[in-house]
Amino acid sequence: MPYRTVVSGAKIIAPKTGNGLWSMKTEKQYKELTIKEFTKAADKYESDHAGIYEICKEDYPYISSELEKEEYHDLLDCGCGTGPMISLLYEKDPSKHYTGLDLTPKMIEVGRSKNLSGVDWVVGDCENLPFEENSFDVIICSNSFHHYPNPQRFFDSVKRVLRPGGRLILQDYTAPKPILWLMNHTEMPMANMIGHGDVAARSLDEIKTFCDAAGLKVEKLNRAKKMRLHLVARKIQ
């Protein structure tokens, strides 16, 4: 694992493409920052004045169009926030079983307050999904992945809880490697300084490596407009 070092018994995140040494944080510190950031954002997250988070809305149609390509019943939204994707999907088809999971209790509280019948809302960590093996037909994850200090654990966990044949549809940031290096050594540490929990954006090569190591088959992996990362990966068995 290229990104793991141990200092004083704590795991320190030092990804080759991640934050610079001057800004190294422990896994716990990144996750605390994330919770702090999204506790503040929760009440306005789905409003028209959500600031930087409004860009997330641009990904929802892409995720919906990928989802429509195959039948499914049990869907997990990893890092669902207040559940904007779940609301859209529920509006179209309330008969499916939707589960939203997020690290920030306040985001889940706002999602749950929508009172969408049959939807499960779970406070939890995408790096250690609290579900039985083979629980979901499809897992979506949008604009959450760059907050994960241990990305391999996320992919391993996804592989475990997906059913054979099930898909992971993931949207996040990426860029050509030199730009990625700059982002991860300037933008991300600055975001940390203003109380945001960003860890690192990953290259397409890294994503492929994580999927291969987890045993997920990459079916689509590309960089789209506005530095968007599109991934569709499948659990074969």
Ligand X SMILES: C[S@@+](CC[C@H](N)C(=O)[O-])C[C@H]1O[C@@H](n2cnc3c(N)ncnc32)[C@H](O)[C@@H]1O
Binding residues for ligand X, rule: CB under 6 A, are 34, 38, 53, 56, 79-81, 84, 102-104, 107, 125-127, 142-144, 147-148
Which residue lies nearer to ligand X by CB, 125 or 206?
A: 125
- Which two structure tokens, joined as six digits, stand for 97? 């079983």
Which residue lies nearer to ligand X by CB, 18 or 81?
A: 81
In the complex, what is the shortest distance from the CB of residue 46 to ligand X, in angstroms, rounded to a whole number? 8
In the complex, what is the shortest distance from the CB of residue 128 to ligand X, in angstroms, rounded to a whole number? 9
Q: How far apart are the two ends of the chain, measured CA to CA in Å?
A: 24
In the complex, what is the shortest distance from the CB of residue 77 to ligand X, in angstroms, rounded to a whole number? 7
The residue of the chain with the least Cβ separation from ligand X equals 81
Amino acid at 161: V
In the complex, what is the shortest distance from the CB of residue 53 to ligand X, in angstroms, rounded to a whole number? 6
Decide the pairing of beta strands 136-142 and 4-7. Answer: unpaired
Which residue lies nearer to ligand X by CB, 54 or 177?
A: 54
The Cα–Cα gap between 69 and 62 comes to 11
Buried residues in 91-112 as b, exposed as e (16+ CB within 10 A): eeeeebebbbbbbbebbbbbbb
The Cα–Cα gap between 15 and 29 comes to 16
| Secondary structure of residue 37 in the 3-state scheme | helix
In the complex, what is the shortest distance from the CB of residue 67 to ligand X, in angstroms, rounded to a whole number? 14
- Residue 164 near residue 217, CB atoms below 8 Å: no
The Cα–Cα gap between 124 and 121 comes to 10
Q: What is the DSSP string of 38-51?
A: HHHHGGGTTSTT-G
In the complex, what is the shortest distance from the CB of residue 117 to ligand X, in angstroms, rounded to a whole number? 21
Decide the pairing of beta strands 74-78 and 136-142. Answer: parallel
